[in-house]
Amino acid sequence: MLVELTMFFAVGLFTLGSAFLIYVSKSIMRSAISLALTFFGASLALLFANQSILALLQLLILVGGLSTYMIIAFSFEKGSKRNASLAYFSVLAIVVILSFILMLLPIGESGTPVHNGFLMSFESLEESSPYILYIIAFLPFAGAIGSILLIKRLVGKIL
């Protein structure tokens, strides 16, 4: 219970901090990335209501679809080259840190250990916690957004 509460506070602070960053950021691109992180944090919060399917769907629709669409549209903005690079590294760092934390924590649906962190085999994936399935679903979208920003950094513009 204590671990769950701590994780909820971490997710809540992450969500509210990202929501606050929308107004602090000077670039619209950065605001859009903050909004994407807010969507991500809210979908993590849905896991605490035992709605893992809704959390995955929210990840697919809001983070995977809408945020990627917004970031592509806003990457037309002039002078956002340096911002996109910084944002790329920020997104990448957050993804890597969250992946490590969530995959190392041996927490199941009812708070019982179900695997041994990275030692978990794919055979036991179906019995694993929704957190693991969630992060596996999240990684392709983080990779997609990161790739868009990396192309923006390397080529200078998209399309």
Partner 1 sequence: MILLLYLSAALLGIGVAGVISSRNIIITIFSIELMLLSSIVMLAYGMEYKQGAAGAEMILAIWAVAALDVIVLVALYLILKPAGSFEIKRFSELKG
Q: How many residues of this chain bind partner 1 (CB under 8 A)?
A: 35
Q: Does 3 bind partner 1 (CB under 8 A)?
A: no
Instruction: Kindly tell me which of 26 and 155 has the beta carbon lying closer to partner 1.
Output: 26
Q: Does 56 bind partner 1 (CB under 8 A)?
A: no
Q: Using CA atoms, how far apart are residues 158 and 55, in angstroms rounded to an integer?
A: 30
CB 152 within 8 A of CB 81: yes
> Among 98, 103, 105, 91, which residue's Cα sits nearest to residue 141?
91
Residue-level length of the chain: 159
70-99: contacts with partner 1 (CB under 8 A):
70, 73-74, 76-77
Q: Does 27 bind partner 1 (CB under 8 A)?
A: no
Q: Does 148 bind partner 1 (CB under 8 A)?
A: no
Instruction: Kindly tell me which of 27 and 85 has the beta carbon lying closer to partner 1.
Output: 27
Instruction: Kindly tell me which of 43 and 115 has the beta carbon lying closer to partner 1.
Output: 43
The dihedral built from the CA positions of residue 21, 105, 66 and 84, taken in this order, carries a sign that is positive
Which span sits near partner 1 by CB under 8 A: 39-47, 102-110, 116-124, 151-159?
Answer: 39-47
The DSSP-derived string for 11-23 is: HHHHHHHHHHHHH
Instruction: Output the CA angle 15-19-23, nearest 5 degrees.
Output: 160
Instruction: Kindly tell me which of 112 and 121 has the beta carbon lying closer to partner 1.
Output: 112
Q: Does 101 bind partner 1 (CB under 8 A)?
A: no
Residue that the structure tokens 């929308």 belong to: 22
